[in-house]
């Protein structure tokens, strides 16, 4: 037995090594919090093995997979607290360590975010001629105005910026203020630092930075020499607070990016010692919206639940608006989450199932590998699908919850099973039910009829419901 265990461990180790090393962890995970959700964003790992996608975790479970550096976590409930981490995944499926966590609470009715809500900032990578700043947006207006020693850099997009052209061995105060608030309000982020001793870079900022080309994984840039005609040894390209390219010529292509991602580029002129000039104004292009080679749904699994029902599960390392389930090449269901239940099927019937993902505004993904599954044996009788299934007007129930009235036309002798996505909500004898759910959540309800043998009818068309909530004032 010990020999078998040792051989298994060696085989597992060899398989892990064949998959390649793990990527580095994503950095600077932050979120912009609203009443219905939290828009997460992060910085791709700097260096290390190539990254193909990212996974968002909550409570140890994957709640989102995406092939870009942001994830809108929408309709997650009003006045709910969520803690997320993100991992990077290589093309062979090797996962990085988790990022530092981000915790946010969706808005509480009656407690709107105030103008003085903090936007904590950090100053780092301080040299004799420059400094980097990063901050957390929080849940008030994301429009923040940055000043450094009283010099106004205007509204700064994103969550970080590099400032150059500073004086060596000098104290600097960095402050953030929300631009939608009274200017007399106190700053919401503040820090002080001192530049290192050294020489001053006297060159002016590069001019006329422009995009020369874009793909889903790269952006080309070009610019003009500084207006004062001063000597430039090299140029440094920054994305927010982070240097992403150094070049001898007034152009660069920034690679290893992700599709549909906004970048905040500035360019500085460098002298022989590497000191930075002032930076060009921020240019905010995005990579192409659609991935050039979208992944197909992976790890498909199909399970026979009863003689009339199958369950399918899969994963997609990208963000899909919906999924279409194919049975023998014919579309049989469209769902919004990576799981589906097919009902009303014949007993002992074989099925060859595939899944196609619909990417927002882009071509569909390739189909998954086929899943072969057969329903369990049993009686052939199936009830007809329920009639009259509809949702009444959802109503607010208290500060945080909502009531969703659902009804249908009942038939004597049948029960009715309600699904929310692929999850069974309950089985009911009558023709109506009112569900209490959290406000600001999204649901896709389907109903089936169930006979005395436990076999289900085909499902009704889905009802998409977004529950109401009391908005913050």
Q: Convert 402-412 to b/e letters by CB count within 10 Å (16 or more is b).
A: bbbebbbebee
Q: Is residue 267 located within the same domain as residue 187?
A: no
Residue 379 lies in a domain: no
- Whether residue 368 is contained in a domain is answered as yes
Q: List the CATH number of the domain containing 244.
A: 2.60.40.10
Query: Distance between CA 282 and CA 135 in Å, rounded?
Result: 17
- Report yes or no on 61 lying in a domain: yes
Percent of the chain with pLDDT over 70: 91
Q: Which of 153-162, 167-176, 305-314, 427-436 has the lowest mean pLDDT?
A: 153-162
Q: Which of 347, 374, 401 is the last residue of a domain?
A: 374
Write down the pTM of the prediction.
Answer: 0.87
How many Å apart are CA 465 and CA 52, to the nearest integer? 33
> What are the tens digits of pLDDT across the range 182-218?
665 668 889 999 999 998 887 889 999 999 999 999 9
What's the domain count of the chain? Answer: 5
pLDDT digits (tens, 9 = 90+) for 228-262: 777 889 999 999 999 999 999 999 999 999 999 99
Q: Evaluate whether residue 349 is within a structural domain.
A: yes
Tell me which residue range forms the domain holding 155: 121-194
- CB burial string 109-140: b at 16+ within 10 A, e below: beeebeeeeebebebeeebbbbbbbbbbbbbb
Segment 398-410, tens digit of pLDDT = 889 999 999 999 9
Q: Average pLDDT, whole number, for the chain?
A: 90
> How many Å apart are CA 38 and CA 101, to the nearest integer?
14
Whether residue 10 is predicted with pLDDT greater than 50 in this model: the reply is no
- Does residue 421 share a domain with residue 445? yes
Q: Which of 194, 218, 235 is the last residue of a domain?
A: 194
- How far is the C-alpha of 131 from the C-alpha of 145, rounded, in Å? 17
Per the domain annotation, does 380 fall within a domain?
Answer: no
Tell me, what's the pLDDT at 5? Answer: 34
Q: What is the pLDDT of residues 318-327, one digit of tens each?
A: 999 999 999 9
303 lies in the same domain as 354? yes
**Which one, of 461, 467, 421, lies nearest residue 441 by Cα?**
467
Statement: residue 43 has pLDDT above 50? yes
Q: Can you give the pLDDT at residue 317?
A: 94
Both tokens assigned to 18 = 């064949």
* β-strand pairing of 242-247 with 234-239: antiparallel
What is the pLDDT at residue 71?
Answer: 94
Asked if residue 218 belongs to a domain, the reply is yes
Predicted local distance difference test score (pLDDT) of residue 109: 57
Residues 350 and 397 placed together within one structural domain of the fold: no
């Amino acid at each position: 037995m010990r020999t078998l265990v040792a051989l298994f461990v060696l085989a597992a180790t060899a398989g892990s090594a064949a998959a390649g090393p793990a990527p580095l962890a994503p950095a600077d995970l932050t979120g912009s919090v609203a009443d219905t959700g939290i828009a997460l964003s992060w910085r791709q790992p700097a260096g290390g093995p190539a990254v193909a996608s990212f996974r968002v975790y909550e409570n140890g479970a994957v709640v989102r997979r995406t092939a870009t550096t942001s994830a809108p976590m929408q309709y997650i409930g009003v006045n709910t607290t969520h803690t997320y981490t993100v991992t990077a995944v290589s093309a062979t499926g090797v996962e990085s360590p988790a990022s530092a966590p981000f915790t946010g609470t969706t808005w509480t009715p009656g407690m709107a975010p105030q103008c003085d809500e903090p936007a904590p900032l950090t100053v780092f990578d301080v040299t004799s001629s420059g400094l980097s700043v990063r901050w957390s947006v929080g849940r008030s207006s994301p429009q923040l105005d940055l000043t450094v020693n009283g010099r106004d850099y205007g509204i700064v997009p994103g969550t970080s910026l590099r400032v150059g052209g500073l004086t060596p061995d000098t104290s600097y105060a960095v402050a953030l203020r929300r631009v939608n608030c009274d200017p007399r309000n106190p700053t919401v982020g503040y820090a002080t630092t001192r530049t290192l001793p050294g020489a001053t870079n006297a060159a002016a900022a590069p001019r006329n930075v422009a995009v020369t080309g874009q793909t889903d994984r790269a952006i080309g840039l070009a610019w003009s020499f500084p207006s004062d005609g001063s000597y430039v040894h090299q140029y440094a390209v920054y994305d927010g607070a982070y240097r992403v390219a150094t070049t001898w010529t007034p152009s660069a292509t920034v690679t290893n990016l992700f599709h549909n991602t906004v970048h905040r580029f500035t360019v500085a002129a460098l002298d022989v010692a590497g000191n930075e000039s002032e930076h060009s104004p921020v240019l905010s292009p995005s990579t192409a919206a659609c991935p050039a080679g979208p992944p197909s749904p992976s790890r498909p699994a199909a399970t026979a639940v009863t003689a009339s029902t199958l369950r399918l599960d899969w994963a997609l390392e990208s963000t899909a608006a919906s999924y279409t389930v194919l049975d023998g090449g014919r579309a049989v269901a469209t769902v919004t989450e990576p799981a589906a239940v097919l009902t009303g099927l014949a007993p002992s019937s074989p099925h060859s199932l595939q899944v196609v993902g619909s990417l927002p505004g882009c071509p569909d993904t390739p189909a998954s590998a086929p899943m072969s599954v057969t329903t369990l044996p049993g009686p052939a009788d199936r009830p007809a699908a329920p009639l009259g299934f509809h949702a009444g007007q959802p109503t607010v129930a208290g500060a945080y919850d909502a009531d969703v009235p659902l009804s249908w036309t009942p038939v004597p002798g049948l029960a009715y099973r309600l699904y929310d996505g692929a999850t069974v909500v309950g089985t009911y004898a009558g023709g109506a039910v009112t569900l209490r759910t959290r406000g600001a959540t999204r649901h896709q309800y389907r109903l089936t009829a169930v006979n005395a043998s436990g076999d289900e009818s085909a499902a009704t068309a889905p009802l998409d419901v977004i529950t109401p909530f009391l908005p913050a004032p």
